[in-house]
Amino acid sequence: MPVIVKPLTNTEVKQAKPQEKVYALSDGDGLSIRIKPNGSKLWLFNYTTPYTKKRTSISFGTYPELSLANARKHREEARKLLAKKIDPKENREETKRIKNIAHSSTLEHIAKNG
């Protein structure tokens, strides 16, 4: 039987203090925030890859730059991709690659670089 996780609140995330070792607070459905000894807080989404069935994670960003509500939106987008058998990490890398190719072929880029 799966463990039911109580969703995080903004207050819990804000008041999470660094400890000697890295630890995580879970929000449920794979979303967690990792608190490091230096005080940085990183949003992570843990999931199983669609084809290899291996456990992996993808980072969404740091707190407070990315709020709890926005992290939850990113989690839902990633879960929608997984439902379509698309790996969120590979999708992010492919999107970046396409943007870089599009940018490198613009007239402005070509004029600046030769």
Q: Is residue 25 part of a domain?
A: yes
Q: Is residue 14 part of a domain?
A: yes
100: left (phi over 0), alpha (psi -120 to 50) or beta: alpha
pLDDT at 105: 74
Q: Is residue 95 part of a domain?
A: no
Q: Is residue 112 part of a domain?
A: no
Range of the domain at 64: 10-85
Mean pLDDT of 82-106: 89
- Looking up residue 71, the CATH number of its domain turns out to be 3.30.160.390
Q: State the pTM of this model.
A: 0.83
pLDDT at 92: 93
Q: Is residue 39 part of a domain?
A: yes
Q: Rounded to whole angstroms, how far apart are CA atoms 49 and 26?
A: 20
Q: Is residue 106 part of a domain?
A: no
pLDDT at 1: 65
Mean pLDDT of 36-43: 96
